[in-house]
Structure 1
Amino acid sequence: MRSYHISKHNSFYAIGLSYKKADAEVRGKFSLDVLGVDHIMVQAKEQGIDGLLVISTCNRTELYGFAQHPFQLIKLLCDQTLGNVEEFQEVAYVYKNHDAISHMFRVGTGLDSQILGDFEIISQIKQGFYRSKKQEMANPFLERLCNAVIQASKRIKNETELSSGATSVAFASVKYILNTISDISEKNILLFGTGKIGRNTCENLIKHSKNSHITLINRTREKAEVIAGKFDLTVKDYGDLQTEIRKADILVVATGAQLPTISKALIYPKKPLLILDLSVPKNVSDDVLELDNVSLVHLDQLSQITDDTLTKRKEFVPKAEAINEQVRKEFLKWLETRKFAPVINALKEKLKTMKAEEIDFHSKKLSDFNQDQAEIISERIIQKITKQFANHLKSSEVDTQDSLELIQKVFQLELDSK
C-alpha cells in the first residue's frame, strides 16, 4: 500500500475509543468539552503537530492528525482527560493513512454509529473542523477530507434510506418511557440539562405523549428558556432541582457535567421514579439504585433497543458503502495529485524560463520575429509537456516517488520549501 503523507516524516492517524469496546464509564473518562479540545489543539501546536481534528460525543472520542507516532496523539488525549494510557489501550483503536481515512468516512456517514444511520455525528465533525480552523490546526488535507466525508454523508442521505424512520437514542428513550409507564399524559416529567439528546427526547416526548406536565431545568436558565419557548414548557431555577425531582415521575438527565449531578440524597424514596441518564460521562450516581422505588436506565441500554426500522436500514448498508468508496477514491486521487503538484509547477516554471530566454534570443536575432505567435506556440507546447508528465505520475503502474525524483534531477528543479 502506498502511504499518503503531507510531510515526509509524519503519517496520518486516527486514534480513539467508542461504544464498541468502551462502556459509558470508560468513555466518560476520555470525554472532552470545548475547552478540553482547545487545550489539546494548543499543546499539539507547541509539539509541532501539523493538522489535528478532535471529536468527542457520547459514543466516541477520536483524534485525527499527523504525527511521527500515534503515541503523540494518545498522550495528548490522556493528558487532557481523566483516562490513562493503560485504560486507553484496553479499548482503543489506531488507524494509519488509508485506514484512518476510511475510518473517518464510516464514522461520518453513520455506518459506525451506535444506532445505524444516526447522522448526528456529521455535525460533530463540522464542529471539530471549525475548532481546528479557529486554533490554526487545520490544513488543506483535513479540510478536503472533512468536505469529502460531508459530501458522502449528504449523498447517502439523499440516495439511500439509511437514516429513514425514527431511530435514534432520543426516539429509543421515548419508546422506553411509553412502554414502561402507563397514563404517560398524567405524569410529571422533568428534563435536567439541555444536551442535544435531551432536547430531542423532549421534542419526541411532546410529540408522542401529548404531555403538558414537562419542566425544564438547566444550570444556565437562559438556555433552558430558549428551548422551553419552542415547546411551551415550564422552566425552573437550578436551585429548585431537588424540589422538582421530588415532584417528578420521570427524570431525564442530559447534562454535560464531568461528574454525577444526581445522587440518592436528592430523591424522595417514597415515590416511584424512572430516571433516564442520557449523559456521557454518566450524570446519575449508581447509589440511586439503593432506593426501592427508583429505576435507572442509561444511554447504552437504550441504544440496544432495536426495531423494524433498524432492520430496514441494514438493507441500505451496501449502497452506502459503495457511495463512501466512490467519494473516498476521488479524495485519494486529489491527494495523489497534490503530492506531485509542486514538481509539476516547478517544471512549468523551468520551461517558462527556457521559453523566455529563447524568445528573447530570437527577437534580437530575427528582424521579422513575431513574438505573439511564438508566445502562443511555446505556451501550448509547455502545457502539453507538463500534461504528459502529470498523466505519467497519475498512472497506477508508476512508482510516483521515483518518478518525481527523476523529473527533479533531469530538469534540476528547485522546489518551494513550503
Structure 2
Amino acid sequence: MKNYNISKHHTFYVIGLSYQKADAVIRGHFSLDESQKENLIIEAKKQGLEGMMVTSTCNRTEVYGFAEHPFQLIKLLCQFSQGSLEEFEKVAYVYKNQQAIEHIFNVGTGLDSQILGDFEIISQLKKAFSRSKKLEMVNPFIERLLNSVIQASKRIKNETEISSGATSVSFASVQYILNEVQHISEKNILLFGTGKIGRNTCENLVKHTKNDHITLINRTKDKAEKIAGKFNLIVKSHSDLQEEISKTDILIVATGAQQPTVSKEIIYTKKDLLILDLSIPKNVSENVEELANVKLVHLDHLSQITDQTLEKRKDYLPQARLIISEVMLEFNAWLETRKFAPTIKALKQKLSLFKDEELDFQRKKIQDFNNQHAEIIGDRIIQKIMNQFASHLKENNDTSEESLALIQRVFQLENLS
C-alpha cells in the first residue's frame, strides 16, 4: 500500500488472536473490557497514532490501525490486557495492508467466525467504530473500510443462506443440551448472566426446549426482569445464586466477568449438574470438575458441534466470497483514487497561482479589463485541465505512479510522499 494520504503512518495493520490458535485461557488473558479498550485508544492517540479500532469478544481480540511498525499495536494490547508478549507471539497473527483488509472483510461477514454464518461480530465492529469516532481516532480509510464491510455483510445475509437457521454460541449451547439431556422439558435450568449471549441463549432455550422451569439471575436484577417478562420466566436475586444452583439440573453461565463467578465452593447439590460456561474469560472455575456429579462444558467444546445446518452453510461459501471480492474491489478502487488526491490538489493550486499571476499582469496592461469574465474563463480552463489529468490517472492505473511523478516534476510541485 502506497501513501494514500490517509495517515502519516502508511501501513495498515491488524494484530490479534482468535479461537483458531488461542485457547479460552489465552483469549481470556487478552480480553479487554470497555474501559480498557477506551484507554488503549487514548494512549495510542497520545503516541501520535491515528485511524484505529479495537474489538474484543469471546472468540477474538483484535486491533486495527495505522502504525510505522506492528509492535506499536502489539505493545498497546499487552499493556492494557493481562496478556504477555511471549503468549502473543505463540498464538497471534499480524496482517498488513491488503492482507489486513481481506481479514477484516472475512471477520465482519462471519466467514472467520467460530460458527460459520454467525454475524454477531458485525455489531461488535460497529461498536468499535463508534468508540473510536467518539475518541476522534477514525480517519477516512477506517470509515470507508468499515462501511464496505457492513455492505458486504448485508449482501451476504440477503443474497445467500449462509446464516440460515439459528446461529452462534447461544444456539450451539442449546443444541448441546438437546443432544445430551433427556426429558429436557422437565429439567430445571438456571441462566446466570443476561448480557447479549445470555439473552440469545434464553431465547433459544424457550424456543427449542419447551421448558417452563427456566430461572434467570443477574447481578443487576432489573435487566433479568426485562428479559424474563418477555418470556414469562422466573427471576431470582444474585444473593439466591447458591440456593438456586442446588435446585437446578443445568446451569448456564454467561456473566462476562473478568474472574470466575462460579466455583465448587458454592455447589452443594448431590444430583447430576451440567454446567455450560459461555464466557471469555472463563467464568466457571475448573475446580467444579472435582465434584463427581458435575460436568463442565466450555464454549470451545460447543464450537466443535457440527450439524446438517452448519454443513449446508458451507455450500454458500463461494457465493459469499464472490460478494466480498466485489465489495473489496470497489473499496480498493476508492483507495487508488485517494493516492491521486494530494497531487491533483497541489496541481490545482499551482495552476490557480499561474492564473492569478497572469490576470494580475494583464489587468495592468489592458484598459477596462473585465476581471469577472477573466476569472470565469481561467477557472473553466483549469477545471478542464484537471479533468484531463484525473481521467488519465484513473484510466491508466498501471502507469499511474509514473504519471504522478511526471506531473510533480513538470509542475515543480512540493514533495508529496
Distance in structure 2 (CA, Å) of the matches to 1:180 and 1:246 = 20
Q: Which residue of 2 aligns with 1:124?
A: 124
Q: TM-score w.r.t. structure 1 length?
A: 0.93
Q: Which residue of 2 aligns with 1:238?
A: 238
Distance in structure 1 (CA, Å) of the matches to 2:5 and 2:344 = 18
Q: Which residue of 2 aligns with 1:147?
A: 147
**3-state SS of 2:398 partner:** coil
Distance in structure 2 (CA, Å) of the matches to 1:85 and 1:302 = 29
Q: Deviations over 1:327-370 (max 9, x none)?
A: 11211221221222122122122223333444454466556866
Q: Which residue of 2 aligns with 1:297?
A: 297
Structure 2 unaligned segments of length 5 or more: list them: none
Q: Which residue of 2 aligns with 1:176?
A: 176
Q: How does 1:17-416 map to 2 (within 5 A)?
A: 17-362=17-362, 365-366=365-366, 374-394=374-394, 395-400=396-401, 402-414=402-414
Distance in structure 1 (CA, Å) of the matches to 2:17 and 2:5 = 24
Q: CA deviation at 1:160?
A: 1.3
Of 302-311 and 112-121, the range deviating more from structure 2: 302-311
Q: CA deviation at 1:294?
A: 1.0
**3-state SS of 1:169 partner:** helix
**3-state SS of 2:64 partner:** strand
Q: CA deviation at 1:99?
A: 0.6
Amino acid at match of 1:213: H
Structure 1 unaligned segments of length 5 or more: list them: none
Q: Deviations over 1:117-176 (max 9, x none)?
A: 111000000000111111221111111111111111111111111111223221111111
Report the CA distance shift for 1:5/1:17 in structure 2 as closer, same or farther (over 3 A): farther
Q: Deviations over 1:204-224 (max 9, x none)?
A: 111112222111111122222
Contact 1:4 1:97 in 2 (8 A): no
Of 182-191 and 349-358, the range deviating more from structure 2: 349-358
**3-state SS of 2:172 partner:** helix
Amino acid at match of 1:41: I
Of 305-314 and 242-251, the range deviating more from structure 2: 305-314
Q: What count of residue pairs does the alignment treat as equivalent?
A: 416
- Identity across aligned pairs (percent)? 69
Distance in structure 2 (CA, Å) of the matches to 1:38 and 1:221 = 27
Contact 2:343 2:416 in 1 (8 A): no
Of 170-179 and 385-394, the range deviating more from structure 2: 385-394
**3-state SS of 1:83 partner:** coil
Distance in structure 2 (CA, Å) of the matches to 1:353 and 1:19 = 58
Distance in structure 2 (CA, Å) of the matches to 1:382 and 1:121 = 47
Contact 1:253 1:277 in 2 (8 A): yes
